[in-house]
Amino acid sequence: MLHEAMVRRLYRRSLAEGQITVPAVPGMIDEYVQLCANLCATLGVPYTPEQSIQLRKVLEGELAKAFKASQRSDIAISFQLPFGTGLNYQVKAEWRTVEADYDNWVATRPPPLFGSEPDARVVALAREAADPATFRVLDVGAGTGRNALALARLGHPVDAVEMAPKFADVMRSEAEREELGVRVIQSDVFTAVEGVHDEYQLMLLSEVVPDFRTTHELRGLFELAADCLAPGGRLVFNTFLARPGYTPDNAARELGQQCNTMIFTRDEVTGAAAQLPLELIADDSAYEYEKAHLPEGAWPPTGWFEGWASGLDVFDVPRDESPIELRWLVYQKSG
């Protein structure tokens, strides 16, 4: 008992301060409250039920504000333990846009950011064209031009739409250097192709739909494809789908959005494409397809692709136990 009394005095003479920053996931509020309780226990600070209730209220408000602002958002919990028994803390929402996040990639990460080769699934569809010069491509969210530049080298006229300014600059510079037929459009795609109808034979979105936040955005994608594609044209995109038997809850979807891994169910994808002249003609595992068809030595395309495409950025499990996976979906426009 006397030793425990000395331990209490030891803690009371300690000083501590710091900050914990974690992704903002409103559906995991209990984990944030427990994190703070663990911190208090480590520092030897009393943590009453009343304090827990108050902290939960503060956290809920900041989590909601951060996540609504952006899927690239964090909660910063700053704490200070002055001489004594009380813990002072501050909870602050922080966020950045997806475009700003990708601009930071260009500034801080060595190229190539998404791999050196174009997607094998995209190239396979493009190679089906009898005459590349008449096979127009719309690359949405083209990044630094990994697919757009490769397709232009094959002779396809390409319109590449990219919102992140630094990505667009990198792609434009390379296209000009090689004198390729790539028109780089720094804009959101709906503004870029406003009034365009039946002009493209292929519309692609590679690693773009995983940054969506709602099924409304997915519906917008299908409607855009129905407008922009010529009859017989194809839409190809990759997206994370829940495996049979698994239904993602809000926490899984929210954490997924923080990890470039928005999760949809097959019913949601089917519903988003309903009553549009688009027929699903191919559905492949992105992991398996790219591994089998990329040129020798090009697998994996990046150090992070295997885990990300398997859903392991969200679920810390063995690959074969992940309830989600990245799939290539190909639709064809009728008429």
Helix axes 146-153, 165-178, angle to 10 degrees: 20
Q: Give the per-residue pLDDT at 186.
A: 94
Domains of the chain: which residue ranges?
Answer: 1-95, 99-333
Q: Give the per-residue pLDDT at 7.
A: 84
Report, at the CATH architecture level, how domain 99-333 is classified.
3-Layer(aba) Sandwich (3.40)
Which run of H or of E encompasses 162?
A: strand 158-162
- pTM given for the model: 0.92
Report how far residue 314's alpha carbon sits from residue 23's, in angstroms, rounded to the nearest whole number. Answer: 12
Report how far residue 334's alpha carbon sits from residue 195's, in angstroms, rounded to the nearest whole number. Answer: 20
Backbone angles phi, psi at 119, to 5 degrees: -65, 130
Separation of CA 265 from chain center: 16
Q: Give the per-residue pLDDT at 85.
A: 63
Of 301, 297, 304, which Cα lies nearest the Cα of 259? 304
Give the tens place of pLDDT for each residue, 255-272: 999 999 999 999 999 999
Q: Give the per-residue pLDDT at 277.
A: 98
Predicted confidence pLDDT, tens digits, the chain (335 residues): 899 889 888 877 778 899 999 999 999 999 999 999 999 888 888 888 998 999 999 999 999 999 999 999 999 999 998 866 678 889 999 999 888 888 788 788 888 888 899 999 999 999 999 999 999 999 999 999 999 999 999 999 999 999 999 999 999 999 999 999 999 999 988 888 888 888 999 999 999 999 999 999 999 999 999 999 999 999 999 999 999 999 999 999 999 999 999 999 999 999 999 999 999 999 999 999 999 999 999 999 999 999 999 999 999 999 999 999 999 999 999 97
Say if strands 263-264 and 158-162 run parallel, antiparallel, or are unpaired: unpaired
Q: Give the per-residue pLDDT at 174.
A: 96
